[in-house]
Amino acid sequence: MQNKSSGIKVAVDAIVFGYSKHDGISVLLIQRKYKPYKDIWAIPGGFVLEDESLEDAVKRELLEETGITVNYLEQLYTFGEPNRDPRQRVISIAYFGLVKTSQYQELKASTDAENANWFSIKKLPSLAFDHKQMITAAIERLRAKVRYQPVGFELLDKKFPFSDLEKLYLALLDKEINRRNFSKKILSFDFLEETGELSKPEGKGRPSKMYQFNPKRYKELLKEGFHFEI
- pLDDT tens figures, 165-185: 999 999 988 888 888 898 998
Domains of the chain, first to last: 9-147 (3.90.79.10), 156-223 (1.10.10.10)
Give CA–CA dist 94/10, Å, rounded.
Answer: 11
- φ and ψ at 228, to 5 degrees? -85, 130
Q: How far from the centroid of its chain's Cα atoms is residue 200's Cα?
A: 28
Is 202 or 198 the better-scoring residue by pLDDT? Answer: 198
**Amino acid 95: pLDDT:** 97
What confidence score (pLDDT) does residue 72 get? 83
Question: Is pLDDT of 204 > 90?
Answer: no
Is the predicted pLDDT of residue 3 greater than 70, yes or no?
Answer: no
Helix H or strand E segment including 73: strand 72-79
pLDDT per residue over 100-144, tens digit each? 888 887 899 988 899 999 999 999 999 999 999 999 999 999 999
Query: What's the chain's average pLDDT?
Result: 90
The CA–CA distances, whole Å, from 116 to 12, 68, 113, 125, 228 equal 17, 11, 7, 13, 35
Q: What is the mean pLDDT of residues 71-91?
A: 94
pLDDT tops 90 at residue 35: yes
What sign does the CA torsion over 35, 37, 41, 45 have? negative
Q: Residue 203 — very low, low, confident or very high, per pLDDT cuts 50/70/90? A: low
CA atoms of 162 and 177, how far apart (whole Å): 14
Q: Each residue of 41-77: pLDDT tens digit? A: 999 999 999 999 999 999 999 999 999 999 889 999 9
Contact 12, 94 (CB under 8 A): yes
Give dist(CA 53, CA 167) in Å, integer.
Answer: 37
> What is the SS3 assignment for 71?
coil
The predicted structure's pLDDT at residue 6: 61
